[in-house]
Each structure stands twice: as C-alpha cells, then as structure tokens.
Amino acid sequence: MRMGPHGLIPGDAKAIAGIKVRGSSMKRVWQFATPYKWPIIGLLVSIFVAALLALVPPLLFRLIVDKAIPQADKNRIVTLTIILVVAALADAVLQIVQRWYSARIGEGLIYDLRVALFDKVQHMPIAFFTRTQTGALISRLNNDVVGAQQAVTGTLGSVVSNVLVLVTTLIAMLALEWRLTLLALVVLPAFIIPARKVGVRLQDISREQMGLNAQMNTQMTERFNVAGAMLVKLFGRHSDEVGAFSGRAGRVRDIGITSAMYGRVFFVALGLVGALGAVAIYGIGAFMVVSGGITIGTLVAMAAFVQRIYQPLTGLTNARLEVMTALVSFERVFEVLDAPVSITDKPGAVDIVGAKGAVQFDHVGFRYPDGASVSIASLEAGGIMQGADPDVDVLVDVSLTIEPGETIAIVGSSGAGKTTLANLIARMYDVTRGTVKLDGHDVRDVTGISLRSAIGVVSQDPHMFHESIKANLLYAQPGATDAQLAEACKSAYIHDTIASLPDGYDTVVGERGYRLSGGEKQRLAIARLLLKNPAVMILDEATSHLDNESEVLVQRALEAASTNRTAIVIAHRLSTIRDADRIVVLDQGRVAEEGTHDQLMALNGLYASQVRAGGSFTTSAMQ
C-alpha cells in the first residue's frame, strides 16, 4: 500500500476497497472507542429516533389531505399542524444532540490518539529519529489521527443514519403502496452506478489535492526556516523554488475546479433522479388515484418519501470505500503505537541516587541497530546514516575507567567512535557487547530518568527551542528561581549579554536559537547544564566552530562547569584537550593510546604524529 504525506496517495481507491482490515485492528479500534461507549450509544439512539421522526411529516400530510380537508375538520387540521411543528422542533433538537455526541466522541478520540502517539514517540530511541522523516511522523499525529476519528464518528454515524433512513422509509412506503415503491426503485440503477464512479473519482481527486497540499506544506516548512532560507539565497534558487511551488499550487487550483464540477454534477444528478422519481410517482400515482386504487393523501406521502430514499442509497454505494479509508488511518496510527522500543527500563530497574560520576567501559563492542528493530519503514527517509552500517563494528573491545571528578579528553579522526562512546554512557544506544557502568551500576539496570539526570551534554550545535531564554534555561530545572538562573548564567559568562538585551531573559531565541551567535548559544547551553547540575558532563566538540574570542569565553565557562564533576571532552583542538587529566585516543573503534599530553607526546605514536602534523585532530562526525 502506497502512502503519501496525508495518507493514501492518488489512485489507491480500488486498493482500499479491496483491503481486509485485520480483526485485531478492529478490536483495538473498539478499545480506543470503549471510553466513549455511552456517548456512542446516545449518538446511535438519537440517529434512530431522528430516522423514525422523519417518517411523521409525510404520514401527517396524508391525514390532512385524506381526512381533515375532505371532512372540513378544522380542529384536526390545527392538531396535525401543531404535531408537525413539534416534530420539526424535535428534529432540530435531535440534530443538536447528535452533533454534541459526535463532537464529544470525535474530539475525545483525537485527544486520546494524539497523546498516545506523542507519548510513544517520546519513548522511541534516538536511532528511530535518525531514520524517520519528521513530516511523515507529524502527519500521523495530525492527519491520520483525524482520519481515524472520522471512522468512529463521521463514517459510523453516516452509515448508520443512511441504513436507518433507507430501511424505515422503504418499510413505510411498502406499507402505504408497494407498487409505487417498486416503481421508485426501478430508476435507482441508472443513478447508483454512475454515482459510485463519480464518488470514487471525487475521492481520488481529494487525495491528490491532499498530497499536493502536503508537498506545498513541506516546501514551505523547509524553505521558511532560517537554514532553508539561507540555502536558497546562497545557491540563488529563488526562481526555481517559486516555479516548483507555482506548479503545485496551479495543480491544486485545477483540481479544485475539477472537484467543484464533479461535485456539482453529482448533486445535480441526484436532484434530477429525485425529480424523475417524483414525476414517476405523481404520474403513475395520479392514474391510480383516478382509478380509485389509492388516495390523494397516499400519493402525497409517497412523493415525500421517495425524496428520502435516493440520498441514503447514494451514500451507501461508497460506504465500504469510506469505511476502509478511515480504518486505514487507524492502521497507520497503530503502526506507530506498535513500533519497537528497543531501549526501555527493565523490570526492577533502580534509581541512581546521589551519583558520584564514576564511569566504566568493560570490553564494550557496538554496532548500530538495523532499521527493522528501531524504526518504521513507511516513515524512513531512505538509506542509513554514514557510519551507521549495522554490519560494521563502530566500537571494538573498549575498556576504560573514569574516576569521579576526572576530566578525560577523547580524540581521534572522524568516524573513530568518539560520539558513539559518549552516547552509550547516557544510554542513547545499548551496547552490543560488554558493559557500560555509572557508579558501578550497569546503565541497563537503572531507570532512564535517574541515569539522564546524572548526565549533562553540551554538543557542537546545542538545540534551543523557539521560546525565551528563560524558558530554555528552565527546561533543565523547571523550579529554578530567577536568582538561580542568573547565577548559572554568570558562571557561564552569558549573564551580561542577556542583561544587555531589551527583553533580557524574556528574549525569544528564535528557531534553533538562530538569534544568538554560536558562542552565545554554547554559553547558554552550559548555563542550562549548570542548572541541571549533573555528576557527569559530556562536551561534544563544544568549541569546534567558534572564533577565538568566543572560544575563550566558552572555555572559561567550561572550566567553571567541570569543577567537582566528571568531564568527558570530545574535541580536536589542542588547546581544549592538553590540560585534561587523561587523553584517550580512539582509532577505528579501539583505544589506541591513553595518557596525559606529555606522556602521549613522549610515546611518539598516533597522538604525537597528529599534533605535530597540524596541532589538532580531524573534527568528528556524528557516529
């Protein structure tokens, strides 16, 4: 089954019609709907009552024409008229009741599904996000959730309503005059068959329109952020971008016109068949009245009823297609909810309390997991990350002990495994072989929350949310006071810069923090780490892209941050690593050398040759 950004792509209507929804999926749909059992029952009851109530007006018209008028019974006319008014009012109330039930069920389901999906995605391992298209994932939380909700409210209500209206109306018509009823049904095939084809075509057009809208949204999302806008300008692709967008927008315009015409033809045809049915009823019925076969009131009632049977039949011709389309959205939601979560707290996991910061790698081997174990094929961007081949060992038999409060520098060429080694401490991934321990605890035996509360990371490009400076800082410690925020920022040498801004700590940093310079963003990230106050600090190329002035300030902030805590520094600049208590040299996933700067220079090995060649190591890539 081919999927587009908004679900099924154009041309798949026939495929949907042939879908057999799994019984297990139907059970799960009901599980999500169970909390709304009584509202669903209320909705169905109100639909049933409305269907019965709709039979009243034609039958009352029959009584007025056949009884009240011929007998000049004014009292009966008044009584029947009042009943008609009451029936109309009751129908209006029922419509409101149905909408209330439908809204309560629908919005409740949307809430439940979105929260369940968001919670599930939050628990997914980092490997999942490295392989997943963000736009496709967001589509599951928005479009597919709404489509799934439509299966329970709109589609269910529509099918039930159409069936009830059709059944009750046909029963009433057959009870009044079966010959005219059969006459009304004779013209149906001439309408239903074309109507079905028009309905399928309308759905195809609608899906193509949704797909094109999704493509336009993707283009706007990617081009309207800072990085995308800069890329377009640097490569001078403005005209190409406008041309591509104009092409999609033009196709949406053309589809909109086609859809409008199909819809108008569809409803004109519906009205035409209804009119023809009424003409047949009046024409043949008139002869029956003249011949004494039926009364005038019966003819009037039959003419009113015949108008009610065509529209429900039209809706039911495409009912299976609509139901399957809606249920496919549920299947896609379940696909995310059922995705494997490879890194979870094991039963009996313990909390790390008062972490000291002792880290140990014991014969650690690691290779990245394959896609089937961590992601969803339909959400993948395609391919695998460089250096993330699941058949290649990234780390090989690494053993390393880091004492509490010790500063360790990890160096090596690009692809040596430096970032991977750091990620294993925070259990972003699980080791393939061996053990990673924090304070003597295997990181797989402790709770994820307590483990990550003991670890802080400042990366090469720290992420900032599009919120205020204060909000970004409070992400580390929600209960921090303004004084604590200021103290952390002073230690990170960023307070004076923030204080000089017109809005101070309420300044919005922009998407990914683009309103801040590289050095300011790094120092803000260090302040955030200080608020978290972890036992282990990991600095992943934290100064690699900074100018000399910014690097000096960041280095001062890092020195303050590393006081009384374990620091693991991934870096390539000699100025960053030479003062470390120990330097660990990785080469092709193995510990090649280990010692102080002077010891490694005296060893005259890989480290010394790199330093003498250029004074630095090659900047690492994300492993």
Residue 536: predicted pLDDT: 92
Query: Per-residue pLDDT averaged across 43-71, rounded?
Result: 90
pLDDT for 615 beyond 80:
no
Q: What is the DSSP string of 507-575?
A: -B--GGGTTS-HHHHHHHHHHHHHHH--SEEEEESTTTT--HHHHHHHHHHHHHHHTTSEEEEE--BHH
Average pLDDT, the chain: 80
List phi, psi (to 5°) of 351: -90, 145
CATH, range 8-337: 1.20.1560.10
pLDDT more than 70, % of the chain: 79
Query: Per-residue pLDDT averaged across 51-78, rounded?
Result: 89
User: Which tokens sit at 575?
Assistant: 């100025």
Q: What is the pLDDT of residues 114-137, one digit of tens each?
A: 888 888 888 887 777 777 777 677
pLDDT for 427 beyond 80:
yes
Query: Per-residue pLDDT averaged across 273-301, rounded?
Result: 84
Residues pairing with 7 in the sheet: 4
Match domain 403-433+447-614 to its CATH number in 3.90.330.10, 1.10.10.10, 3.40.50.300, 3.10.20.520: 3.40.50.300
pLDDT for 462 beyond 90:
no
Residue 377: predicted pLDDT: 66
Query: Per-residue pLDDT averaged across 509-534, rounded?
Result: 81
Q: Which of 185-194, 217-226, 382-391, 517-526 has the lowest mean pLDDT?
A: 382-391
pLDDT for 375 beyond 80:
no
pLDDT for 435 beyond 90:
yes
pLDDT for 86 beyond 90:
yes
Residue 138: band (very low, low, confident or very high) from pLDDT cuts 50, 70, 90: confident
Q: Which of 25-34, 390-399, 454-463 has the lowest mean pLDDT?
A: 25-34
Residue the block writes with tokens 């042939």: 18
Residue 380: band (very low, low, confident or very high) from pLDDT cuts 50, 70, 90: low
Residue 572: predicted pLDDT: 67
Residue 307: predicted pLDDT: 76
Residue 547: band (very low, low, confident or very high) from pLDDT cuts 50, 70, 90: low
Residue 551: predicted pLDDT: 66
Residue 87: predicted pLDDT: 92
Query: Per-residue pLDDT averaged across 584-604, rounded?
Result: 90
Query: Per-residue pLDDT averaged across 9-18, rounded?
Result: 40
pLDDT for 382 beyond 60:
no
- Rounded CA-CA distance 563/568 in Å is 12
CB 157 within 8 A of CB 102: yes
460 alpha carbon, distance to own chain's centre: 28
Nearest in space to 493 (alpha carbons), one of 529, 513, 520, 517: 520
CATH 1.20.1560.10 domain residues, the chain: 8-337
Put the strands of the sheet holding 582-587 in their side by side order. Answer: 455-458, 536-540, 566-570, 407-411, 582-587, 590-595
CATH 3.40.50.300 domain residues, the chain: 403-433+447-614
pLDDT for 378 beyond 70:
no
Residue 446: predicted pLDDT: 92
Residue 415: predicted pLDDT: 78
pLDDT more than 90, % of the chain: 17
pTM recorded for the entire structure: 0.74
Q: How many CB atoms lie within 10 A of CB 398?
A: 24
Residue 192: predicted pLDDT: 65
| CB contact set of 575 (below 8 Å; sequence gap of 6+) | 551, 555
Which residue did the predictor score with more confidence, 605 or 328? Answer: 605
